[in-house]
């Protein structure tokens, strides 16, 4: 009982933090996608309540994803209108459910740990770089645009330079004070008493910022303009609230372009979700393992519902998930609560939400980004050696200088190159059988699995053998020998006779001097 109450307190506190992180991102991603602002909020609500309820993850948070914004922007233009696009979202959800039924979730397990850590670090860095302009009151680029080349014509770094000309004193001051509150609350006050543990620091910072905005509205220098505040659609009454919903135009379902967009959404959203699942499971201090196939079904269901009522496509998202973990979220209740908080707030208090300065929300996200990209992680990855540090570094730079999916793709490619290099190096072990330098007896032990990747290394080693050598070829531990390697050994028999090299084959079936045919030998002995 005590544990359940403790979890409830943690989850309630975490859900408030996730709510404040999700609110500007839902709006910003909708703006970056060229979609109605309300569609981003719908996706946030559905991601929290529906996907949160169906998911097997305790700490993953779903909602509209920055990685899909370019796809959505292009798709709306291609399909003619937003209602046609919603049909693609619904169909994409159905395809995702099919992926889950076909157990495609296993794909997520094939991404190297170094790439996942690089993804988390890269996202942390990009959050910091993208939030600095909002922190200082420069809001030309929408929240949620995480690509290096931005929709406002700038790039990540030129935006920072341009920001220096437009720093707003009021936004900067409330951002600095909000950041100070967050740091002091987390490092000091949260250890002083239960009241500081129950009330989350971000809530205090946001309340303070609203008070600051209210008191300085008429101030000549510190007043914060509406462009630097949250901008939630404000309905005049309950009917106008429901009038913000859009519905899919199913008459366009026969349009082949809609099916192309649907499959693209399903594929990209599923990939982003599986990557996020791997990342959040690594961040989870309790090391829970999320069932990936169930997650695809949950995401597909969420996308069907989101598309039916006018929402953007949904994925599990690392920024909100990491904020949930960092804030102490323990169960899916925090995810579901954040969805209800979004729904209730945009229905009942949209005007109050529109008094929150973006700079204080940027302060919250800056801390989230810092915790994802702590400097000591770079040293840790470097100390692990080049096999870990190269894919990690490539992923980080790819995310920062291109975007999320390209960065992960480049990191994965680097990881594959590392595997090929190590496979080339580890195909065999060659050593002298005697310590006598004049003894020409050598022994080559093949690895457990030897494939065509190892051809170059083995050919190079065999070609280097001196004349008048006795070579013992040990295949006792080899469980898989590619036909390419067998052909190399078969060709070497001819060279060996010309160079007076004696070959002794050591296998589980015994030892054989100068076997006439390796092909016949390995046909008799299964290699799989």
Own/partner pairs for 380-386, CB < 8 Å, 24+ apart? 381/114, 381/117, 386/418
Pick the CATH number of 428-524 from 3.30.750.24, 3.30.70.370, 3.40.50.150, 3.30.360.10: 3.30.750.24
Q: What are the distances in angstroms from CA 485 to CA 232, 471, 491, 502, 517?
A: 65, 17, 10, 19, 13
C-beta separation of 281 from 111 below 8 A: no
Distance, in Å, from the CA atom of 358 to the CA atom of 350, rounded to the nearest integer, reads 15
Helices (H) and strands (E) in the chain, counts: 23, 9
pLDDT at residue number 528: 44
pLDDT at residue number 41: 96
pLDDT at residue number 93: 97
C-beta separation of 231 from 361 below 8 A: no
Beta bridge partners of 428: 446
Query: Which two three-digit tokens encode residue 255?
Result: 């349009």
- Locate tokens 């996308």: which residue? 303
Burial class for 263, CB neighbours closer than 10 Å (0-12, 13-18, 19+)? middle
Query: Which two three-digit tokens encode residue 469?
Result: 């050598």
Beta bridge partners of 504: 472, 513
Strands (E), 106-154: none
Distance, in Å, from the CA atom of 140 to the CA atom of 468, rounded to the nearest integer, reads 76
Burial 367-386 (b: 16+ CB within 10 A, else e): bbbeebbeeebeeebeeeee
Strands (E), 114-230: none
Residue 444: which H helix or E strand, with range? strand 441-446
Burial class for 520, CB neighbours closer than 10 Å (0-12, 13-18, 19+)? exposed
CA pseudo-torsion sign 33, 37, 40, 46: negative
CA pseudo-torsion sign 130, 135, 140, 143: positive
Distance, in Å, from the CA atom of 15 to the CA atom of 339, rounded to the nearest integer, reads 9
- 373, 374, 378, 381 alpha-carbon torsion, rounded to 10°: -90
Q: How many CB atoms lie within 10 A of CB 355?
A: 19
Alpha helices in 357-482 (DSSP H): 358-372, 375-383, 386-401, 404-425, 455-463
Angle between helical axes of 455-463 and 483-498 (0-180°, round to 10): 10
Distance, in Å, from the CA atom of 148 to the CA atom of 398, rounded to the nearest integer, reads 10
pLDDT at residue number 37: 92
Strands (E), 21-102: 62-64
Cα 373 off chain centre by: 14
What are the residue ranges in the chain where pLDDT is below 70?
Answer: 1-6, 423-439, 516, 518-528
Three-class SS state of 507 = strand
Distance, in Å, from the CA atom of 302 to the CA atom of 92, rounded to the nearest integer, reads 10
- Locate tokens 């540090």: which residue? 389
In the chain, list all ranges with CATH 3.30.750.24: 428-524
Nearest to 268 by CA among 314, 220, 332: 314
C-beta separation of 35 from 76 below 8 A: yes
Alpha helices in 228-331 (DSSP H): 238-242, 256-283, 292-308, 318-326
Pairing between β-strand 62-64 and β-strand 428-432 as defined by DSSP bridges: unpaired
Query: Which two three-digit tokens encode residue 190?
Result: 């949260």
Three-class SS state of 137 = coil
C-beta separation of 518 from 493 below 8 A: yes
pLDDT at residue number 352: 94
Distance, in Å, from the CA atom of 70 to the CA atom of 472, rounded to the nearest integer, reads 59
- Locate tokens 């028999």: which residue? 493
């Amino acid at each position: 009982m005590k544990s359940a109450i403790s979890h409830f307190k943690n989850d309630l506190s975490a859900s408030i933090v996730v709510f404040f992180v999700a609110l500007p991102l839902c709006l910003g991603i909708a703006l970056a996608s060229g979609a109605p602002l309300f569609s981003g909020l719908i996706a946030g609500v559905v991601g929290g309540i529906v996907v949160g309820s169906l998911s097997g993850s305790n700490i993953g948070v779903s909602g509209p994803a920055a990685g899909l914004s370019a796809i959505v922007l292009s798709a709306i233009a291609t399909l003619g209108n937003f209602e046609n696009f919603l049909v693609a979202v619904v169909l994409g959800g159905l395809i995702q459910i099919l992926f889950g039924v076909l157990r495609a979730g296993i794909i997520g397990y094939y991404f190297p740990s170094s790439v996942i850590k690089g993804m988390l670090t890269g996202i942390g860095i990009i959050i910091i770089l993208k939030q600095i302009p909002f922190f200082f009151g420069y809001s030309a680029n929408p929240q949620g645009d995480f690509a290096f080349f931005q929709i406002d014509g700038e790039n990540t770094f030129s935006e920072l330079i341009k920001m220096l000309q437009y720093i707003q004193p009021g936004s900067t001051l409330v951002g600095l004070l909000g950041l100070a509150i967050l740091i002091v609350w987390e490092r000091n006050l949260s250890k002083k008493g239960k009241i500081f543990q129950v009330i989350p620091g971000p809530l205090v910072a946001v309340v303070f910022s609203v008070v600051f905005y209210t008191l300085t509205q008429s101030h000549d220098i510190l007043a914060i303009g509406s462009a630097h505040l949250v901008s939630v659609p404000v309905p005049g009454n309950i009917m106008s609230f429901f009038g913000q919903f859009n519905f899919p135009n199913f008459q366009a379902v026969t349009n082949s372009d809609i099916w192309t967009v649907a499959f693209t959404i399903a594929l990209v959203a599923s990939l982003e979700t599986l990557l996020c699942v791997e990342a959040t499971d690594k961040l989870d201090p309790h090391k829970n393992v999320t069932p990936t196939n169930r997650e695809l079904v949950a995401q597909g269901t969420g996308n069907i519902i989101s598309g039916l009522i006018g929402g953007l496509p949904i994925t599990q998202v690392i920024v909100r998930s990491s904020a949930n973990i960092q804030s102490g979220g323990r169960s899916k209740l925090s995810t579901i609560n954040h969805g209800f908080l979004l729904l209730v707030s945009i229905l009942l208090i949209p005007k109050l939400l529109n008094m929150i300065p973006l700079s204080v929300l940027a302060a919250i996200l800056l801390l989230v980004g810092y915790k994802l990209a702590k400097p000591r992680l770079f040293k840790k990855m470097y100390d692990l050696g080049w096999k870990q540090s190269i894919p990690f570094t490539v992923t980080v730079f790819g995310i920062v200088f291109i975007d999320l999916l390209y960065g992960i793709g480049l990191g994965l490619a680097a990881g594959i190159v590392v595997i090929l290099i190590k496979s080339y190096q580890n195909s065999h072990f060659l050593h002298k059988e005697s310590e006598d330098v004049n003894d020409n007896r050598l022994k080559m032990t093949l690895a457990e699995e030897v494939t065509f990747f190892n051809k170059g290394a083995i050919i190079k080693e065999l070609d280097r053998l001196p004349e008048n050598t006795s070579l013992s070829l040990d295949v006792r531990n080899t469980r898989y020998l590619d036909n390419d390697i067998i052909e190399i050994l078969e060709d070497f028999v001819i060279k060996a006779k010309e160079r007076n090299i004696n070959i002794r084959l050591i296998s589980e079936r015994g030892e054989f001097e100068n076997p006439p045919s390796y092909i016949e030998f390995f046909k008799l002995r299964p290699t799989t």
